[in-house]
Chains A and B, each alone.
Chain A
Amino acid sequence: MKELLECLERDHTQTPEQLAIMLNKPVEEIAALIKKYQDEKVIVKYQTIIDWEKAGIDNVTAVIEVRITPQREVGFDAIAERIYRYSEVRSLYLMSGGYDLSVTVEGASLKEVADFVSTKLSTIDGVVSTTTHFMLKKYKFAGVIIKDEEEEHRLVVSP
């Protein structure tokens, strides 16, 4: 049920009761569907988007372009797995174009990220080269504008 998933993707804190009213379905059906989606890992995980900068907690993010040599039978997957198992890796995508993997790494400092790249990532067998881009500012993440300046300007009461 696409509508239910869209509602949950936007705000997973809505209760099954509220979702049932909004989607005009029995609450039992909604609760069962949510459970099914969780069990089947259609709903992978519930997370919170935090503006760390606003919270006053510094961290460093880098997007690293990685070129690798694909391996017989497993292609890119085996190397990808060796990379995404690191907790520093926040996201990993196989890309088309000039490089193979896009790796997003987060660390507490520039040094921490640099160490990860030089000692962990680039030393993996099959990794041919890395190009590290440090992120300077986060504008939009997971469909959410981080510092949304589009305030409400409507009158309190209007016809």
Chain B
Amino acid sequence: MNWADRIAPTVKAIPPSGIRRFFDIAAEMKGVISLGVGEPDFITPWHIRESCIHGLHRGYTSYTSNYGLLELREEITKSLHKDYQVTYDPRQEVLVTVGVSEGLDLAMRALLGPGDEVLVPEPCYVSYKSCVTLAGGTPITIPTSAENEFRITAEQLEKYVTPRTKILLIGYPNNPTGAIMSREDLEGIAAFALKHDLIVISDEIYAKLTYDGTHTCFSSLPGMRDRTIVLNGFSKAYAMTGWRIGYAVSNVEFIAAMTKIHQYTMLCTPITAQIAAIEALKSGEKNVEHMVSEYNYRRRLIFNGFRQMGLDCFEPKGAFYIFPSIKQTGLTSLEFAEQLLMAEKVALVPGDAFGESGEGFVRCSYATSTKNITEALERIGRFIKNIKK
């Protein structure tokens, strides 16, 4: 019996994550310094963990509303208003999700019909295109380049828009490039969305990790609030990846549609994580500031290191990734990553794992100690010198 034949065609059509294979090799090796980790090296601040423990002591072990605890939704809307002056009704316009990943899946499933097209700038987070495909849509990739600091422009998007285009999916600060979009950049995109009557899904999970200037929430732009689904969460800013908690905010209709799917598939986000998230929003700001300044130190250190090595490297302005070009080595991204791992035991992620336009680049995460960064840079420098010989 060939069970593989029984798998749904949509699922079969999706390529496995490019990171997976690499992980298997790296996980087996000893003494590896990893710049391949897409999550903070900090542990969730103690007061947040403690609030969850306290919640368990008090017996908070039940389901919550499908939307999530009202107190959490209120804290979310308060923080969005404080940070970006954008207003949402906590009762109807917020959905607490199992990370941004679930939020993205829900948004796509709630909005896409067969053949609807979604504009997806690349390189991008690994699940974007697959989520579109799984929801029955068609991802249309838009390559970005280091020359334009991995940003998108309305002019460029115009070339890809068709009558079937329904959604523009953006993620800034960006994983894997570390790119950000300024308010002016985003205003151009907003005008484009308005012109073509598009819905914008904005993944802003790295919003608080912005080092140059301030982050602009897409829905805070004039006329964009109801047209946008903002996805955000606690994983990166509060070092809460394993808690799996995020949220979506948008107009009443979109949130209701997403909640309909959520109630049948997920029911609710674990109450333990929701309690911790309330504490994060109420008293976590100081921790965020500390972590952001640490990432910023490391960002400068690693950027300087790659520049000293003579690699073409765009200066990342957000998230905790740097995306140097390795084209001058003559190797493909995958060859570079594999050979570096074997020769010097440094793990990073080949750029093509994030889409075709990531080829020729590698993603390095600086969510690791300065000691590790310094040692990794030394090893990478040695590796490149040996290639050039």
- Interface residues of chain A, those whose CB is within 8 Å of chain B, are 3, 7, 11, 14, 18, 21-24, 150, 152, 154-159
Contact = CB atoms under 8 A, between A and B. Distances in A.
Given A156-B32, A157-B19, A157-B347, A23 B37 contact: no
Contacts of A150: 43
Interface residues of B, number: 29
Main secondary structure of the interface of A (DSSP, over half): loop
Nearest to B127: A159
Contacts, number: 59
Interface centre among B41, B293, B297 (most CB of A within 10 A): B297
A158 B300 contact: no
A21 to B, nearest CB: 5
Given A3-B293, A152-B41, A154-B41, A159 B300 contact: no
Interface of B: 17, 19, 22-23, 26-27, 32, 34, 36-39, 41, 43, 125-127, 175, 293, 297-298, 300-301, 304, 347, 349, 353, 370, 374
Contacts of A21: 300-301, 304
B23 A158 contact: yes
B275 to A, nearest CB: 21
B43 A156 contact: no
Q: What are the 9 tightest A-B residue pairs by CB atom distance, in nearest-first order?
A: A157-B36, A22-B297, A157-B23, A156-B26, A159-B126, A158-B38, A21-B304, A156-B34, A156-B27
Contacts of A156: 23, 26-27, 32, 34, 36-37, 347
B122 to A, nearest CB: 14
A7 B19 contact: no
A90 B59 CA distance: 45
A14 B39 CA distance: 25
Contacts of B17: 159
B368 to A, nearest CB: 9
Nearest to B101: A159
Contacts of B297: 7, 22-23
A123 to B, nearest CB: 44
Contacts of B32: 156
Contact of A155 (B27, B41, B127, B301): B27
A75 B298 CA distance: 48
Contacts of A23: 297, 300
B301 A158 contact: no
